[in-house]
Amino acid sequence: MSGGVDSSVAAALLIQQGFDVVGCFMRLGSPGEDIGNATLGHRGCCSISDADDARGVASTLDIPFYALNFADDFEQIIQYFEREYHAGRTPNPCVRCNDWLKFGKLHDYAEGIGATWVASGHHARIDRSGAFPRLRRSADLRKDQSYVLFGAGGLPGKRTRRLDQLIFPIGELSKEEVRTHAKRFGLGVHAKPDSQEICFVPDDDYAGLLERRHPERFEQGRMLDADGNELATHEGHQHYTIGQRRRLGVAVGHPLYVVQKNPASNTVTLGPREALAAMGCTAAEASWHIEPSKDWIECTAQVRAHGESLAAQVRSTGKDRIEVEFTQHQEAAAAGQAVVCYEDDLVLCGGWIDRVERAS
């Protein structure tokens, strides 16, 4: 229970369905508190006010409530975020938090208290009609969160299948229906806005976080065009992400985008939008939700949590690795992001991009 409307309604619906529910809040830190020089914000999913909201909902629902101190474990999420940016990649800490904490450490806690299931307020569904559970998109595609849950997969006997223990009670509901249920259950969070930020970067200044932790890793470098000509200087490649257009400090009479970063030379390459088009990618740490195939499988592929899923094909290329070819070029796919492949609305597989093949 994060203190938001989704997880609150999820708990209420489970009680209505006859489950014996225990509410758990992951305490990752407090607003204004520094965890390794990362200051937690007020608008994330782990603040004191969020804990108070979750505790209030648990009281309304008359269920036990525990605030679990995961602050020490949360530091590994911040360290991962830091490593990826310094290496020139584009990290997704929310997916890692799901994998390592929400559906990792929290599952261990559930087993410790004898719980059969772990439920969350994610907008996703689990299809249990086959031989084993499959992850499915939410009924409300505008709020679908299956992309950030791909790591909960894995085939029986090959890795722990968290899907066997997971329930997503609001997966069939739209956001409007969730808020209607919250009012019906008398939950005070029915109008609470959704969290949109990375909780340990409340001002969305990623480079500022990194510089506070290790200022010595920021050095002045060169901004180049596609031919290697210097356009300007910058104060560290960490200030830029692939696909970025604004705040480049370069004016050439037409739009430019960040198309490449080289942390070894501390250079940032700018180019036209069409230079961002990707033909394919390879990914590591793959999770398959079906039996892996060395033959190409037709699918759609998504490279950002709120990005469009476009026509593609995917295949296994070895232990925990996949290759994806995009039938429709993906824009701004970048190393460090997750790529998730779908068969209609069912997740086929996903992995962490380590190489992108550009169209030009």
User: What is the per-residue pLDDT across 82-114, written as a single tens digit (0 to 9) for each?
Assistant: 999 999 999 998 888 888 888 888 888 898 999
Q: Give the mean model confidence (pLDDT) for residues 160-174.
A: 88
Q: Reply yes or no on whether the pLDDT at 198 is more than 90.
A: no
Looking at per-residue pLDDT, the higher value among 104 and 139 belongs to 139
Selected catalytic residue, list 24, 199, 341, 349: 199
Which residues, at least 6 apart from 62, have a Cβ–Cβ distance to it below 8 Å? none
Q: Reply yes or no on whether the pLDDT at 173 is more than 60.
A: yes
Angle at 288 between CA 286 and CA 294, to 5 degrees: 85
Q: What percent of the chain has pLDDT over 70?
A: 91
How far apart, in whole angstroms, are the C-alpha atoms of residue 295 and residue 316? Answer: 7
**Predicted local distance difference test score (pLDDT) of residue 155:** 55
Q: Give the mean model confidence (pLDDT) for residues 150-171.
A: 76
List pLDDT tens digits, range 4-61.
Answer: 999 999 999 999 999 999 999 988 764 445 444 444 444 455 677 888 999 999 999 9
pLDDT category at 273 given cuts 50, 70, 90 is very high
Q: What percent of the chain has pLDDT over 90?
A: 68
Listed residue (95, 150, 96, 157) closest to 124, CA to CA: 150
**Predicted local distance difference test score (pLDDT) of residue 197:** 65
Listed residue (130, 187, 188) closest to 163, CA to CA: 130
Q: Is 353 helix (H, G, I), strand (E, B) or coil?
A: strand
Q: Give the mean model confidence (pLDDT) for residues 300-313.
A: 94
Q: Give the mean model confidence (pLDDT) for residues 139-161.
A: 78
List pLDDT tens digits, range 310-339.
Answer: 999 999 999 899 999 999 888 879 999 999
Q: Is 149 helix (H, G, I), strand (E, B) or coil?
A: helix
pLDDT category at 200 given cuts 50, 70, 90 is confident
Task: Give the tokens for residue 239.
Answer: 């200030």
**Predicted local distance difference test score (pLDDT) of residue 34:** 47
Active site residue 199: yes
**Predicted local distance difference test score (pLDDT) of residue 42:** 43
**Predicted local distance difference test score (pLDDT) of residue 16:** 98
Judge if pTM exceeds 0.95. Answer: no
**Predicted local distance difference test score (pLDDT) of residue 37:** 42
Q: Reply yes or no on whether the pLDDT at 217 is more than 90.
A: yes
| CATH number assigned to the domain with residue range 5-121+169-184, chosen from the 4 options 3.40.50.150, 1.10.10.60, 3.90.640.10, 3.40.50.620 | 3.40.50.620
**Predicted local distance difference test score (pLDDT) of residue 257:** 96
| CATH code, residues 219-271 | 2.30.30.280
Selected catalytic residue, list 45, 97, 299, 349: 97
Domain range list for the chain = 5-121+169-184, 219-271
Q: How many CA atoms lie within 13 A of 293 on its CB side?
A: 13
**Predicted local distance difference test score (pLDDT) of residue 209:** 86
**Predicted local distance difference test score (pLDDT) of residue 87:** 95
Task: Give the tokens for residue 179.
Answer: 């808020």
- Ordered alpha helix ranges (H), the chain: 5-16, 48-61, 71-86, 93-97, 106-112, 175-184, 206-213
Question: Average pLDDT of the chain?
Answer: 89
